[in-house]
Amino acid sequence: MSTSPLRIVHCVRSPIGGIFRHIHDLAIAQSQAGHAVGVICDSSSGSDFDNAFVDRLRPHLALGVARFPMQRSLALQDLAAAFRLYRYVKDLKPDIVHGHGAKGGAYMRAIGTLLRLQGRDVTRIYCPHGGSLHYDPNRLEGRVYHALERLQAHFTDGLIFVSDYEYAAYETKVGHPRIPARVVYNGLQPSEFMPVQPDEDARDFLYIGMLRDLKGPDLFIEALYNLRLRTGQAPSAHIVGEGPDRAKYEQKVKDLGLTGAVTFHGALPARQAFRMGRCVVVPSRAEAMPYIVLETVAAQVPLIATRVGGIPEIFGRYASRLVEAGDVDKLTAAMEGALADPQAMRSFAKSLRTCLAETFSVDLMSDRITALYRQLRGQDIAGSEVTAQPAASAGMPDPQTVYASSSNP
């Protein structure tokens, strides 16, 4: 069996949030394992914080980091962008092209197919990270994206899902995978299992995430307002993150008279932000396998989260504690309970921590993904399987991490 190093190219549209944290950790782990790795992402998006995160990746990768303009939505500019990407990727002589998110997946599968038509031995991998799977299949936009996913399945060699939920969503909205598929949870670094204590001046609540409606910051702000109506005083809160709708949320805070209680910050490392609040609130309307939930649980920080995506897989037997997505009244009640009994929240955070283990590591995540690469290339590895297999049946969960995040198509 050949175990020679692989040449691996990862591609994602926007270098922000959980999706890029996944790529960052995976690329570094694969590089440390001896593979030549490169990363491609959009040049027109990302805050200073995000761009610094990208730059920190550069020294670790033999195939470098390249940035090209990429549109978020389907556009005619995609054709010109694809041609530029094709010429760049072709020169890298990849063995593996691994697309992340809808746009990165489309580019890599198209380019990989063109290279195969030229006789190159290229393996095409796709990981949705939520992406197009978040769209409603009953709406036109959803039907278009899911039809494109079905078409691209013919040009895909292997699928990777970051949660059982994502696997099930693909089956429901796109179809049962007829190619090898594997669920590989995101993985945490060992240092992220160290508990984080709040600062003395920590605020009551902390939102960390992308500032867009999909992640629910509007619901978080409305719940703070509801608590002020109930108690006569608004709880204090920090909102940490970047996103296209920040100005809208700042105006909402102002309109509801919460300016003195809520402070906005840019993106920050999660463990730094944890010290700023006594309870993290994740009010998302949709998720795949959110890093911020994993990081919060590992750090034993009190947490209120919604029942979406892979979050119930993280909570395990405590999934009944999750809040219904989009229900501001239930979110308000959960936050009111946290204020009333902070000690119970801290005790629950310690219990919830037992759902994760240090063995759910970045190295394990990298090993399972790289093993799939090799098997798809006929480099059989004893004890591994490549058939479509949700993690629950495989008996091998693997979580992961981020600073403040979102999975984007």
Q: Where are the domains of the chain?
A: 7-187+360-394, 191-353
The mean pLDDT value for 172-176 works out to 96
Ranges 73-82, 139-148, 335-344: which has the least confidence: 73-82
The mean pLDDT value for 49-69 works out to 93
Task: Decide if pLDDT at 21 tops 60.
Answer: yes
Answer whether 29's CB lies under 8 Å from 365's CB. Answer: yes
pLDDT at 74: 63
pLDDT at 404: 39
- Give the integer Cα–Cα distance in Å for 222 and 328: 7
| Domain 7-187+360-394 and domain 191-353 have a common topology | yes
Q: Could you name the CATH architecture of 7-187+360-394?
A: 3-Layer(aba) Sandwich (3.40)
How many Cβ atoms are within 10 Å of 189's Cβ, its own excluded?
A: 15
The mean pLDDT value for 122-127 works out to 98
- Give the integer Cα–Cα distance in Å for 157 and 177: 11
Share of the chain above pLDDT 70, in %: 90
Q: Look-up: residue for tokens 């006929």?
A: 378
Give 175's pLDDT tier (boundaries 50, 70, 90). very high
Task: Decide if pLDDT at 388 tops 70.
Answer: no
pLDDT at 397: 32
How many Cβ atoms are within 10 Å of 153's Cβ, its own excluded?
A: 17
Task: Decide if pLDDT at 395 tops 60.
Answer: no
Q: Look-up: residue for tokens 């939520």?
A: 130
The mean pLDDT value for 378-384 works out to 62
- Give the integer Cα–Cα distance in Å for 235 and 260: 10
Give pLDDT tens digits for 276-312.
Answer: 999 999 999 999 999 999 999 999 999 999 999 999 9
- Give the integer Cα–Cα distance in Å for 25 and 363: 9
Give 400's pLDDT tier (boundaries 50, 70, 90). very low
Task: Decide if pLDDT at 402 tops 80.
Answer: no
pLDDT at 190: 87
- Report the predicted TM-score, pTM, of the whole model to 2 decimal places: 0.87
**And the tokens for 130?**
């939520």
pLDDT at 405: 36
**And the tokens for 400?**
């992961």
Answer whether 92's CB lies under 8 Å from 38's CB. Answer: yes
Return mean pLDDT, the chain: 90
**And the tokens for 163?**
């949660």
Give pLDDT tens digits for 337-349.
Answer: 999 999 999 999 9
Give pLDDT tens digits for 345-364.
Answer: 999 999 999 888 756 689 88
Give pLDDT tens digits for 34-44.
Answer: 999 999 999 98
pLDDT at 381: 58
- Give the integer Cα–Cα distance in Å for 239 and 292: 14
Answer whether 163's CB lies under 8 Å from 289's CB. Answer: yes
Q: Which fold has domain 191-353?
A: Rossmann fold (3.40.50)
- Give the integer Cα–Cα distance in Å for 15 and 21: 9
Give 240's pLDDT tier (boundaries 50, 70, 90). very high
Which residues in 328-359 are b (16+ Cβ under 10 Å) and which e? beebbbbbeebeeeeeebeebbeebbebbeee
Query: Among 408, 402, 403, 400, which Cα is nearest to 183's?
Result: 400
The mean pLDDT value for 190-206 works out to 96
Determine the 3-state secondary structure of 38 from DSSP.
Answer: strand
Task: Decide if pLDDT at 76 tops 80.
Answer: no
Answer whether 396's CB lies under 8 Å from 183's CB. Answer: no
CA-CA-CA-CA dihedral for 152, 312, 362, 21, to nearest 10: 60
